[in-house]
A and B are shown apart, each in its own frame.
Chain A
């Protein structure tokens, strides 16, 4: 669980980094999403990211299977429940709700894959020519998809789930692999809180800024 979690955290860095290329349009009026399209084209055409993509799906699949097994096996360990529950006095609600947060994320991923990954890999996306090269115009697909308010709301909710999932998951993953040195634990915890806020916030800003036309 911890190892696949750390692997997926690393993937998020790549994903958020590449997607953040859409913000290039804010700083350069002539960009028109070209930087993002070029980055996406590199990821789709180069064999290294394609190979890593297989690893990513293995990782995410393992994380889901491990998570579901953990949740259901653990649920079966207390047949008679308490009359008065311990509640939030000893642990955070999001630490106890990783299964729920993960399930929300899984449902979101299915929507997300259907909207972007499947068209880009299988069913086809409109093409554009940048620097004489033909490539998918994913930037336009994003603009089109995020014109719908319900899609933006779903994405923002998923980002909130991701933030809380990471808030527990980041530090928990490191505990699972045995990190306990006080100095590093403080670093990991601090890094975890920062990561859990910054990455989901950047992700959430993407549909929001497209919807409000901040990115064009």
Chain B
């Protein structure tokens, strides 16, 4: 692909802290290479802001290779930007043209309060995982990998669900700010495997109870979550979660 440079106008959400109200600020960035990643473009801008003695834009990032789930920008009205199945850090500037205006916002959901600028507090997801995203295993030596037979289709579906990186794009895109795609991926991942069987019923009930407690909305199956998920987690997981929840609710012993 041909390399080119571009000048862009950025409209970025700036917010001092969780308590202040915040607003948009515009920045002109020039000589941006089409081979830069979106976050590298922000690095260039931040270095300039530091040189000018201004406060750099705070944003979440860690691995920058699409697996940690830290980056979380809402770019031009779409979580993680215009590319399908891509995290913000893997989005490259060749997705944009010279002269484009790019609007960058943080995830918007009451369950994900803004900490600063583009950073949001996603610890609600950690608490949902703590509520049931674990399995019971015997201590001692690790069991041989092939000791427990698992049907290939189930292993594949479980693996696909386990690809969820917990970035929260599903919540950001959902009109209801629902976390159902995330929870369904975590529940499906373990419910499909024999290792997940001991806590299968309590897991789904506890994780959903925690999800409601955190203030996420309810799922209405619109499908926006699936459309933005950088790991392309399927909506089928939500149907599985609903089935698991119904069965567990009717048959759990406690």
Contact = CB atoms under 8 A, between A and B. Distances in A.
A84 B101 CA distance: 12
A65 B216 CA distance: 20
Given A92-B223, A179-B239, 19 more contacts: A74-B175, A77-B110, A78-B109, A79-B110, A83-B77, A83-B105, A84-B103, A86-B77, A86-B78, A86-B224, A90-B222, A90-B227, A91-B227, A168-B221, A176-B221, A178-B239, A178-B240, A178-B242, A185-B236
B198 interface: no
Interface string A58-91: 0000000000001001101111111111110111
A90 B220 contact: no
Interface residues of A, number: 33
Given A77-B177, A82-B77, A180-B240, A172 B218 contact: no
10 A-B pairs closest in CB distance? A178-B243, A90-B227, A84-B77, A90-B224, A180-B239, A74-B176, A91-B222, A77-B177, A77-B217, A172-B221
Nearest to B226: A90
12 contacts: A74-B217, A78-B108, A85-B77, A86-B77, A86-B78, A92-B222, A95-B223, A171-B221, A172-B220, A178-B242, A178-B244, A179-B239
Contacts of A130: none
A35 to B, nearest CB: 39
B70 interface: no
A92 B105 CA distance: 23
Interface of B: 11, 13, 24, 74, 76-79, 103, 105, 108-111, 173, 175-178, 215-218, 220-228, 235-236, 238-240, 242-244, 246-247
A96 interface: yes
Contact of B217 (A73, A95, A168): A73
Contacts of A95: 220-223
A176 B228 CA distance: 21
Interface string A26-42: 00000000000000000
A21 to B, nearest CB: 35
A90 B173 CA distance: 8
Contacts of A79: 110
Interface in A135-177: 168, 171-172, 174-177
Interface centre among B79, B173, B242 (most CB of A within 10 A): B242
Contacts of A201: none
A85 B224 CA distance: 12
Given A175-B239, A177-B242, A178-B239, A96 B222 contact: yes
Interface string A177-201: 1111000010000000000000000
Contacts of A175: 221, 235, 238-239, 242
A87 B111 CA distance: 22
Contact of A91 (B111, B175, B243): B175
A82 B105 contact: yes
Contact of B246 (A78, A80, A177, A185): A177
B188 to A, nearest CB: 10
A96 B174 CA distance: 10
A83 to B, nearest CB: 6
A62 B105 CA distance: 38
A205 interface: no
B10 to A, nearest CB: 13
A98 interface: yes
A79 B243 CA distance: 31
Nearest to B175: A96
A73 B103 CA distance: 28
Contacts of A89: 77-78, 227
B176 A77 contact: yes
A201 B216 CA distance: 38
A74 B227 contact: no
Contacts of B236: 180, 185
A78 B242 contact: no
Contacts of B222: 90-92, 95-96, 168
B225 to A, nearest CB: 8
A86 B24 contact: no
Given A86-B78, A175-B242, A178-B239, A78 B223 contact: no
